[in-house]
Amino acid sequence: MSIKRDHKPGGTGRPNIVCIGGGTGLSVILRGLKKQPVDITAIVTVADDGGSSGRLRNDLQMPPPGDIRNVLIALADTEPLLESVLQYRFENGEGLAGHTLGNLMIAAMKEITGDFTQAIKEMSRVLAVRGRVLPASEQDVDLLAEMSDGTIVKGESQIPKTGKRIRRVFLNPPEPKPLDEAIRAIEEADGIIIGPGSLYTSILPNLLVKDMSESIRTSRACKVYVCNVMTQPGETDNFTASDHIRAIYDHVGERLFEVAIINNEVPPLSIQKQYAVKNQRMVVPDIEKIHKLGCQVLADNLLLYQSVLRHNADRISRHILRLIRERMKQRQSG
């Protein structure tokens, strides 16, 4: 008698997709995936030390809530006005200026529940979030970088400001304990999506958590890297698509991804000039070099322009779902 695998959460039989990252890049992908018939778990970096998140981290000895807030909102079934309220950043008030309401709500929920992960779960329930949102670790984690001249810079918010090339990033404490629930999600996933997002300050802090990369590498899931559309000043200046993957492999070992989804559409010249002012350019899709890294390539026009360049989340989501379904069929037939 054959036993059909019971996909969690809820045994729906839908593909389980784990998305790993932080910042706005992860949120964009999640907005597309939540429209698909999938179960989503987002694993989010907790190395942020700037702005409202950094202040709450220092004042309340809690993990930074900023990236968590953005992911919760991306997955939430909220009205546009409620999203604006949660993202509202106070401009006045002693001790209040600079904080977002969403960050304060997560902080309040953490104080009420006494546990950061439980606070996220309660916020998810309040916001009718379509999926699970988990911190990569509950430990107090600092991100540090060794620059090209050997100097060490501490703090996710400070690293891109040095004007120096990053040689490597690392965490303090080294290899912080992962959230058990996050590791289980990776082990049970049908698809694991990493990126897009800031390479050194959003992607790698997750992968440097203890057991995270090895759990991804040994997973039977379809493992996909979504590369950034544009380079990021202070992090990936002049990087090609293969440079992004090589940097990850230099930190956590090779053969982490099976497929790289990359943009091959050149932005209009007017938009290129707009970004050149900020020292940003299109990430070149050097497909042959990616193949040499042992990674298949799915290249497509992934651009969406909404005052800034973004990934076309709906198109990427369809690509992701097709790749995962193909892998699931292979596993079932094998």
pLDDT tens-digit profile of 203-249?
999 999 999 999 999 999 999 999 999 999 999 999 999 999 999 99
Rounded to an integer, the average pLDDT of 108-116 is 95
Alpha carbons within 13 angstroms on the beta-carbon side of residue 132 total 20
Is the predicted pLDDT of residue 57 greater than 50, yes or no? Answer: yes
Q: What distance in Å separates the CA atoms of residue 65 and residue 105, rounded to the nearest whole number?
A: 10
Q: What distance in Å separates the CA atoms of residue 283 and residue 237, rounded to the nearest whole number?
A: 9
Confidence band (pLDDT; 50, 70, 90) for 1? very low
Q: Work out the angle between the directed axes of helices 101-113 and 51-60 (0-180°, nearest 10).
A: 20
User: Which tokens hold the place of 148?
Assistant: 């090209």
Q: Work out the angle between the directed axes of helices 23-33 and 66-75 (0-180°, nearest 10).
A: 20
For residue 75, give the H/E element and its range: helix 66-75
Residue pLDDT, tens place only, 299-314: 999 999 877 898 999 9
Alpha carbons within 13 angstroms on the beta-carbon side of residue 196 total 27
- Give strand ranges (E) for the chain: 16-21, 39-44, 132-135, 142-147, 152-154, 166-172, 191-194, 222-226, 259-263, 296-300, 303-305, 309-311
Is the predicted pLDDT of residue 31 greater than 80, yes or no? Answer: yes
What pLDDT was estimated at residue 77? 85
What pLDDT was estimated at residue 5? 38
The CATH number given to 16-45+136-333 is: 3.40.50.10680
What pLDDT was estimated at residue 197? 93
Is the predicted pLDDT of residue 330 greater than 90, yes or no? Answer: no
Query: What's the whole-number average pLDDT of the chain?
Result: 92
Specify the range with the lowest mean pLDDT, choosing from 61-65, 175-179, 256-260: 61-65
What pLDDT was estimated at residue 196? 95
Q: Where are the domains of the chain?
A: 16-45+136-333, 49-132
Is the predicted pLDDT of residue 6 greater than 60, yes or no? Answer: no
> Pairing mode, if any, of strands 166-172 and 152-154?
unpaired
Is the predicted pLDDT of residue 274 greater than 90, yes or no? Answer: yes
Rounded to an integer, the average pLDDT of 134-153 is 95
What pLDDT was estimated at residue 334? 66
For the chain, give the percent of residues with pLDDT over 90.
Answer: 80
What pLDDT was estimated at residue 189? 98
Rounded to an integer, the average pLDDT of 118-136 is 95
